[in-house]
Amino acid sequence: MPRYAQPGDEVHPGHPVTVSRYGPLARLNHWITALSLILLALSGLAMFHPSLFFLSDLFGGGQNTRAFHPWIGVVLFASFFVFFFQLWRANLPERTDVVWLSRIRDVVAGNEESLPELGKYNAGQKFIFWSMAFLILVLIGTGIVIWDRYFETATTIETQRVAVLVHSIAAVLIICIFILHVYAAIWTRGTLRAMTRGTVTGGWAWRHHRKWLRELAGQRKTKPAK
């Protein structure tokens, strides 16, 4: 049983070496989730603060924004949790995560050399993964409570008030997480292709997820040659 590698992860020798990180299904899943989250953020923000109400025009006005938002939420929820079950094992915390976190300054500074070798995900990615999972659960739960079209009478107004408050706080948090996630992906060059082409370069894997790379490399050699 591999420790870090997931089904489909594979190294391809070459110049440079490429490593399959996400299969087509996972990528599709990711981008549906991402798109949903973006649409939810935009429509949610339109209803969150008057200065952002103009965003509702993207959806064809406030009525549509209000109507689409919860349905997109349902899509996000479904899509994310398909994704979740693919990745959760690789996101289980480890001892090295603590070391990594304790050297967060080096992380931000890009001093990768002073960090421990990591598996498929670093602590930051795991944090994002678990935060997303938790916040999406909170958002879908509270979202259903305030989805008046279908659930208006299911709960008391007092419950709905709490729900709408929690929903908005959770939404703020998930947007923050989202920003971190996106920025980290951009800042860490060579990352985006994992979600576009599905592969990263061996160097990227060496630099950021060496243990994972080693495991894959080891796996390849134990397997009979093609």
Give me the active site residues, please: 181
Q: Are 142 and 167 in contact (CB under 8 A)?
A: yes
Q: Are 190 and 200 in contact (CB under 8 A)?
A: yes
Minimum CB distance to other proteins smaller for 138 or for 146: 146
66: contact with other proteins by CB under 8 A: yes
Alpha carbon 79 to its chain centroid, in Å, reads: 11
104: contact with other proteins by CB under 8 A: no
Q: Which of 34, 48, 75, 141 binds other proteins (CB under 8 A)?
A: 48
Query: How many angstroms separate the CA atoms of 17 and 154, rounded?
Result: 56
Minimum CB distance to other proteins smaller for 152 or for 197: 152
Residues 124-153 that bind other proteins (CB under 8 A): 146, 148-149, 152
116: contact with other proteins by CB under 8 A: no
Q: Which of 56, 86, 91, 122 binds other proteins (CB under 8 A)?
A: 56
Tokens of 186: 């951009």
Q: From its phi and psi, is residue 190 left (phi > 0), alpha (psi between -120 and 50) or beta?
A: left
Q: Are 117 and 211 in contact (CB under 8 A)?
A: yes
164: contact with other proteins by CB under 8 A: yes
Provide the angle, in degrees to the nearest 10, between the axes of the packed helices 24-48 and 62-87.
Answer: 140
CB of 82 to other proteins, least distance (A): 27
Cα dist from 96 to 15, 48, 163, whole Å: 30, 39, 37
180: contact with other proteins by CB under 8 A: yes
Cα dist from 120 to 75, 142, 211, 220, whole Å: 27, 32, 8, 16
Minimum CB distance to other proteins smaller for 198 or for 202: 202
Minimum CB distance to other proteins smaller for 67 or for 133: 67
Interacting residues with other proteins (CB under 8 A):
11, 13, 15-17, 46-53, 56, 61-63, 65-67, 108-110, 112, 146, 148-149, 152, 157-158, 160-162, 164-165, 168-169, 171-172, 175-176, 179-180, 182-183, 186-190, 201-207, 213-214, 217-218, 220-222
